[in-house]
């Protein structure tokens, strides 16, 4: 009984056809039948449009769920604990209109009798570590910077490289700017690091880094550059679904704070990129930035390897006591800050939102740098520890690079 309605949505065509093949002898009739089924399927699916963005940026969510007794929606435009209940009509279609929403790239989920689910009418999904969410891009001025615009697009490549430091063959994403393939020019390189729970996919899927760069380059705001997005978890080869069977080495390298990832970036990733791609070398042509865990790694990389990067961006991360996590504060931190100061750099950029749970740690970082008369630029934004902020930070940091 319960399955009756949903069955319409999941006609398994090959199987239907197999069952009917004996009866519909003519291949022509069979094809007409199958195409009719496909059309019906498509119409049924398209009958439920969700989400629908109205001209005033109000948004309608819909779910066909005649057997459900409670349906609600939760999205990144909401405060914690907030939900919007959908209302059922007499056909079993649930809907709610919310907003208007500010132009932004939002994740959201539906709840069906308490179970968090993706919106089945929406094919677009973003994965954040092990969690998926349906996505909604409300167009407008604020989201224009990461929209897929009608501008030249760079190439995003999924590249496997050997990391002797970690004992793994690993995957990274490499963005090459529009024109890379046809030019003979060499490009500067920006190493862009994700946060805890993320992987090499995060900056393109959640951060839309490739489209941000496309747009900045098209507007003449950023120099064409190569952007390298690694997997910052030293025990991982690649994102879920793209990992070879666990080998003896895997997992041995542990998590953040043991400096293994940082060492592998300097010893394995940079040499790989500089030998495989047409790039400019030396610190004047290298930038590094990361958010949260990637911000910690950015500090580690730049304090421990002074003279490697001229452009440094720490997003949503500062200095704090992490001894409870087994991460000891470097006893030589003061000397290392001096070493970076002496080695020289062109930009040390720190960005944080006033609502970020790490806001206090950023004050500690700034105080520590001030003690050393260490030159940095501080950018304080509204909001917290979120991708909307990191997308904005990227769009502000990238234009300052290699100039």
Q: Could you say which residues in the range 364-393 bind its own copies, by CB under 8 A?
A: 364, 384-386
Residues 6+ apart with CB under 8 A from 228: 172, 173, 174, 175, 189, 190, 191, 192, 269, 273
Binding positions for its own copies, 204-233, rule CB under 8 A: none
Binding positions for its own copies, 278-317, rule CB under 8 A: none
Shortest CA distance to 141 belongs to which of 57, 77, 204?
57
Please identify which residue in the block is written with the tokens 């930070």: 393
User: What kind and span of H or E run contains 351?
Assistant: strand 347-353
Environment class of residue 27 by beta-carbon count within 10 Å: exposed (0-12), middle (13-18) or buried (19+)?
A: exposed
Under the criterion CB under 8 A, does residue 240 sit at the interface with its own copies?
yes
Under the criterion CB under 8 A, does residue 321 sit at the interface with its own copies?
yes
Residues 6+ apart with CB under 8 A from 346: 284, 310, 311
Q: Which of 28, 91, 141, 373 binds its own copies (CB under 8 A)?
A: 28
Under the criterion CB under 8 A, does residue 22 sit at the interface with its own copies?
no
Please identify which residue in the block is written with the tokens 């006591």: 321
d(CA 330, CA 316) in angstroms, rounded, equals 20
CB of 394 to its own copies, least distance (A): 18
Q: Which of 140, 244, 271, 344 binds its own copies (CB under 8 A)?
A: 244
Shortest CA distance to 263 belongs to which of 169, 168, 165?
165
Closer CB to its own copies, residue 161 or residue 305?
161
Under the criterion CB under 8 A, does residue 32 sit at the interface with its own copies?
yes
Per-residue x/- track, 334-353, its own copies (CB under 8 A): --------------------
Under the criterion CB under 8 A, does residue 333 sit at the interface with its own copies?
no
Binding positions for its own copies, 256-285, rule CB under 8 A: 276
The backbone torsions φ and ψ at residue 40, rounded to the nearest 5 degrees and listed phi first, read: -65, -45
Closer CB to its own copies, residue 213 or residue 308?
213
In the numeric block, which tokens belong to residue 114? 């308490």
Number of residues in contact with its own copies, rule: CB under 8 A?
108
Q: Which of 66, 167, 255, 399 binds its own copies (CB under 8 A)?
A: 66
């Amino acid at each position: 009984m319960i399955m009756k309605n949903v069955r319409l949505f999941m006609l398994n065509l090959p199987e239907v056809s197999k069952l009917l093949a004996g009866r519909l002898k003519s291949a022509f009739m069979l094809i007409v039948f199958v195409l009719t089924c496909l059309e019906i399927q498509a119409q049924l699916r398209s009958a439920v449009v969700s989400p629908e963005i109205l001209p005033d940026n109000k948004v309608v969510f819909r779910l066909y769920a005649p057997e459900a007794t409670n349906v609600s929606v939760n999205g990144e435009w909401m405060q914690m604990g907030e939900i919007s209940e959908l209302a059922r009509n007499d056909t079993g279609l649930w809907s709610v209109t919310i907003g208007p929403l500010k132009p932004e790239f939002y994740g959201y989920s539906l709840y069906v009798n308490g179970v968090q689910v993706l919106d089945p009418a929406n094919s677009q999904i973003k994965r954040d570590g092990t969690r998926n969410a349906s996505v909604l891009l409300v167009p407008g001025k604020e989201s224009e910077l990461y929209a897929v615009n009608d501008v030249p697009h760079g190439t995003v490549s999924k590249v496997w490289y050997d990391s002797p430091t970690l004992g793994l063959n690993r995957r990274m994403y490499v963005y090459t700017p529009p024109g890379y393939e046809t030019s003979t020019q060499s490009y500067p390189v920006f190493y862009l690091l994700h946060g805890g729970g993320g992987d090499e996919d995060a900056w393109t899927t959640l951060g839309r880094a490739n489209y941000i760069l496309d747009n900045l380059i098209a507007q003449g705001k950023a120099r064409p550059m190569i952007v390298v997005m690694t997997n910052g978890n030293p025990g991982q080869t690649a994102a879920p679904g793209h990992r070879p069977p666990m080998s003896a080495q895997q997992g041995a390298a542990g998590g953040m704070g043991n400096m293994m990832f940082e060492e592998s970036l300097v010893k394995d990733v940079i040499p790989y990129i500089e030998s495989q791609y047409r790039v400019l070398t030396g610190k004047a042509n290298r930038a590094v930035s990361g958010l949260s865990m990637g911000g910690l790694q950015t500090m580690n990389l730049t304090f421990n390897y002074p003279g490697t990067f001229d452009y440094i961006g720490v997003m949503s991360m500062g200095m704090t006591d992490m001894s409870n996590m087994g991460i000891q504060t470097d006893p030589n931190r003061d000397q290392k800050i001096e070493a970076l100061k002496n080695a020289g750099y062109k930009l040390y950029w720190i960005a944080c939102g006033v609502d970020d749970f790490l806001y206090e740690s950023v004050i500690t970082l700034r105080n520590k740098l001030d003690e050393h008369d260490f030159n940095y630029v501080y950018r304080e934004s509204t909001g917290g520890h979120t991708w909307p902020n990191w997308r904005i930070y990227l769009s502000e940091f990238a234009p300052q690079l290699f100039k």
